[in-house]
């Protein structure tokens, strides 16, 4: 009889070793299957040492193999607990430090086992007895043996309790897998428990390895034929049931295996979904009233009534076991609510359409404005030419020299010149009045130097004290700099300049007689940047009703005679000159600045000259 028992134990060792090696090689160390492989390896070693015990005939060798068997016996409960923790997604409970603490009792047990002949802590007595004509080791348990048994069964009970809880979960996908696993794994422990309480069909023989022989082969077959090696964590409850999107597990026969809380809320708030045919609850776009047929890895847009309104969803179908493709044991269907996204997309599209329409209207108005300015400029040319010709005829027909009449003719000629300048500047004013549509990054120093090279600045010197990058139309920004530099030349040149007695050339809107006076001219023009914490200077802004501007920006200043405070309010108006110019240069500067969304202020420079500050620059 004992030869059959020995053969069964040997077969158990071979099967256990094969399954263990297969699991350890196929899986990473952090996976549940790897921990189960370690557990199977301890069982295999236990069976192998039991074979050695059965084949030994001396006390010395039987004790030696019994001692070796305890290497497996004491660590089997720990590997079982580690597997249960990983399988139920509680790996954080089984940290390295905790496993080390749990190993203290097993290590002490091994120490007592291998020194058992020198004390009575583990075995109170060791002797050799004969059963059926064969010698067997007979031992009486000592106090630490009781501690070891209690400790081992405590760990086994904890691990088993975790797996029982997992097997009883509502997760239909894995309930059968857990039940089969529990049946195969608990049977040997039940047999071992019966052995320890005295139920021994074969006296002096521990039937635990034989029990593993009985369940080892079907367990190996289960491992080979199913996805048990992957050990999908039962604690998918933490993820699956807490997802915000509705998620359903569909069986191969198109029935709902499981649905999370969101799916119940959206698809079946008043009825259970498990076991129901998928086509009866899923959107019509996914089934059309026929058996569920959404292809794997497909994505389909669909709609569902939710709380009295129709909401749009994006349905995605994935295989439960992607590596098995068409042979998968079902599918996972998720429904992502995209109603808000679509509404936002539609609202954004409507805004874009409105902006495009508004932009088209603005472009049309700009074109009409430029066209009108060109027409007016062209139509002014003819009467101006006629007026100038008549003026020449009048001068030719005059006999003698009447000073008053000559003065009136000079003034009339000046009016003709101003009208011709206005006619020439009108198209440019229309162009510069339009908003800047596509600004780019521009360096102030680069633009300023380009403008300085265009203007005839005589003996003036340009100093760029600081620079920055601004978003602007580089052509129009350079035009603004050109006009500001030209104003410095005309307003602050070191020559005899006309000075307006009541402000026509320096800010008054009325025509006054011009006096001539000589003032010290400008020698240096400075360009620099303004920061938010720079102190504001005394200023006269074009629009005093608007809020104070942001100090961030840049400036252009000279060291000439400056512009009197009371006249600064008018110098940015059309036709008002600060020197010998036409009176449109600074007006064009203001137009360009405002087209960029900035503001322009006239203040005193640090040397007492004129300073133009461009503010509200981003």
Of 383, 411, 429, which residue constitutes the final position of a domain?
Answer: 429
Both 31 and 155 in one domain: the answer is yes
How far lies 232's CA from each of 166, 173, 355, in Å? Answer: 12, 10, 53
Q: Are 468 and 444 in contact (CB under 8 A)?
A: yes
Supply the pLDDT for residue 318: 79
pLDDT at 99 over 80: yes
pLDDT at 533 over 80: no
Both 518 and 547 in one domain: the answer is yes
Both 62 and 178 in one domain: the answer is yes
pLDDT tens profile 279-331? 888 887 776 555 666 666 678 888 888 887 888 888 888 776 554 444 445 78
pLDDT at 486 over 50: yes
What average pLDDT does this structure show over 81-87? 85
Both 371 and 468 in one domain: the answer is no
pLDDT at 222 over 70: no
Residue 567 domain-assigned (yes or no) = yes
* Average pLDDT taken over every residue of the chain: 76
Supply the pLDDT for residue 219: 60
What average pLDDT does this structure show over 116-142? 78
- Model confidence, pTM: 0.46
C-alpha dihedral, 296 to 299 to 304 to 309, nearest 10°: 160
The two tokens of residue 478 are 């350079």
Window from 60-69, 200-209, 394-403, 459-468 with minimum mean pLDDT? 200-209
CA distance 212 to 218: 10
Kindly tell me the burial class for residue 19, based on how many C-beta atoms sit within 10 Å of its own C-beta (0-12, 13-18, 19 or more): buried
Supply the pLDDT for residue 104: 93
pLDDT tens profile 172-198? 555 566 667 677 767 877 887 787 777
pLDDT at 26 over 50: yes
**Those residues with Cβ within 8 angstroms of residue 221's Cβ, 6 or more apart along the chain or in another chain:** none
Supply the pLDDT for residue 513: 33
Tell me which residue range forms the domain holding 197.
2-232
Q: Which of 583, 431, 601, 390 is nearest to 498 (CA)?
A: 583
Overall size of the chain counted in residues = 618
pLDDT tens profile 205-215? 667 767 766 67
Greater pLDDT, 393 or 120 = 120
pLDDT at 155 over 60: yes
Supply the pLDDT for residue 586: 85
pLDDT at 221 over 70: no
How far lies 170's CA from each of 178, 232, 234, 267, in Å? Answer: 12, 15, 10, 19
What average pLDDT does this structure show over 570-578? 69
Phi, psi (deg, nearest 5) at residue 423 = -60, -40
Listed ranges 322-326, 365-369, 530-534; the one with the highest mean pLDDT:
530-534
How far lies 389's CA from each of 396, 413, 417, in Å? Answer: 11, 11, 13
CA distance 294 to 285: 9
Q: Are 448 and 463 in contact (CB under 8 A)?
A: no
Domain count, the chain: 4
Both 136 and 246 in one domain: the answer is no
Both 102 and 171 in one domain: the answer is yes
Looking up residue 19, the CATH number of its domain turns out to be: 1.20.1070
Window from 21-25, 118-122, 568-572 with minimum mean pLDDT? 568-572
Residue 465 domain-assigned (yes or no) = yes
pLDDT tens profile 224-262? 454 444 444 444 555 566 678 888 888 777 788 778 888
Apex CA 572: angle with CA 566 and CA 575, to 5°?
Answer: 105
What average pLDDT does this structure show over 385-406? 76
Supply the pLDDT for residue 111: 92
Both 416 and 514 in one domain: the answer is no
Q: Which of 458, 443, 388, 379 is nearest to 417 (CA)?
A: 388
DSSP tag of 28: -
Kindly tell me the burial class for residue 388, based on how many C-beta atoms sit within 10 Å of its own C-beta (0-12, 13-18, 19 or more): middle
The two tokens of residue 251 are 């069986």
**Those residues with Cβ within 8 angstroms of residue 127's Cβ, 6 or more apart along the chain or in another chain:** 59, 137, 138, 139
Percent of the chain with pLDDT over 90: 13
Both 255 and 170 in one domain: the answer is no
pLDDT tens profile 7-16? 777 887 888 8
Looking up residue 451, the CATH number of its domain turns out to be: 3.30.565.10
Residue 218 — pLDDT band, cuts 50, 70, 90? low
What average pLDDT does this structure show over 517-526? 68
Q: Which of 556, 553, 562 is nearest to 607 (CA)?
A: 562
Residue 516 — pLDDT band, cuts 50, 70, 90? very low
Supply the pLDDT for residue 442: 93
Residue 343 domain-assigned (yes or no) = no
């Amino acid at each position: 009889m004992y030869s059959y028992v020995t053969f069964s134990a040997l077969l158990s060792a071979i099967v256990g070793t094969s399954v263990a090696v297969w699991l350890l090689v196929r899986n990473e160390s952090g996976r549940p299957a790897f921990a189960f492989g370690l557990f199977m390896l301890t069982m295999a070693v236990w069976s192998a040492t039991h074979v050695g015990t059965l084949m030994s005939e001396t006390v010395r060798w039987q004790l030696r193999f019994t001692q070796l068997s305890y290497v497996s016996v004491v660590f089997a409960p720990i590997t079982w607990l580690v597997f249960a923790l990983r399988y139920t997604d509680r790996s954080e409970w089984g940290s390295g430090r905790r496993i080390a603490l749990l190993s203290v009792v097993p290590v002490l047990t091994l120490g007592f086992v291998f020194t058992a002949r020198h004390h009575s802590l583990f075995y109170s007595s060791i002797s050799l007895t004969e059963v059926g004509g064969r010698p067997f080791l007979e031992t009486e348990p000592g106090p630490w043996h009781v501690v070891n048994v209690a400790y081992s069964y405590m760990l086994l009970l904890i691990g088993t309790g975790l797996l029982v809880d997992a097997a009883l979960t509502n997760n239909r996908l894995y309930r059968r897998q857990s039940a089969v696993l529990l049946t195969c794994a608990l049977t040997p422990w039940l047999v071992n428990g019966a052995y320890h309480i005295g139920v021994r069909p074969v006296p002096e023989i521990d039937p635990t390895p034989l029990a593993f022989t009985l369940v080892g082969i079907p367990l190996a077959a289960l491992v080979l034929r199913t996805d048990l090696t992957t050990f999908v964590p039962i604690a998918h409850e933490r993820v699956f049931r807490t997802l915000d999107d509705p998620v359903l597990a569909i069986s191969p026969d198109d029935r709902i295996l499981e649905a999370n809380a969101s799916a119940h809320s959206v698809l079946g708030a008043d009825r259970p979904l498990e076991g129901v045919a998928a086509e009866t609850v899923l959107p019509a776009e996914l089934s059309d009233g026929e058996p569920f047929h959404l292809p794997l890895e497909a994505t389909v847009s669909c709609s569902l009534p939710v709380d009295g309104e129709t909401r749009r969803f994006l349905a995605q179908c994935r295989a439960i076991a992607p590596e098995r493709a068409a042979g998968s044991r079902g599918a996972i269907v998720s429904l992502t609510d995209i109603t808000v996204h679509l509404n936002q997309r539609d609202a954004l599209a409507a805004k874009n359409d409105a902006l495009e329409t508004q932009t088209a209207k603005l472009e049309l108005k700009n074109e009409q404005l430029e066209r009108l300015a060109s027409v007016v400029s062209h139509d002014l040319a003819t009467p101006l030419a006629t007026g100038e010709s008549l003026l020449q005829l009048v001068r030719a027909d005059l006999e003698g020299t009447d000073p008053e009449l000559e003065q009136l003719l000079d003034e009339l000629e000046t009016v003709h010149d101003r009208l011709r300048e206005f006619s020439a500047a009108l198209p440019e004013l229309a162009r510069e009045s339009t908003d800047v549509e596509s600004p780019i990054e521009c360096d102030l120093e680069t633009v300023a130097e380009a403008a300085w090279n265009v203007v005839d600045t005589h003996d003036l010197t340009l100093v760029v004290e600081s620079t920055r990058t601004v978003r602007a139309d580089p052509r129009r920004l350079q035009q603004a700099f050109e006009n500001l530099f030209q104003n410095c030349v005309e307003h602050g040149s070191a020559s005899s300049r006309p000075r307006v007695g009541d402000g026509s050339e320096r800010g008054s809107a009325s025509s006054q007689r011009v006096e001539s006076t000589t003032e010290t001219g400008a020698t240096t023009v400075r360009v620099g940047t303004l920061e938010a914490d720079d102190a504001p200077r005394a200023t006269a802004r074009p629009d005093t009703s608007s809020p104070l501007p942001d100090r961030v920006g840049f400036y252009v200043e000279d060291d000439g005679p400056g512009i009197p405070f009371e006249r600064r309010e008018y110098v940015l108006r059309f036709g008002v000159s600060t020197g010998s110019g036409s009176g449109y240069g600074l007006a064009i500067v203001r137009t360009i600045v405002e087209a960029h969304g900035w503001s322009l202020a006239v203040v005193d420079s640090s040397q007492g000259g004129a300073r133009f500050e461009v503010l509200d620059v981003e």
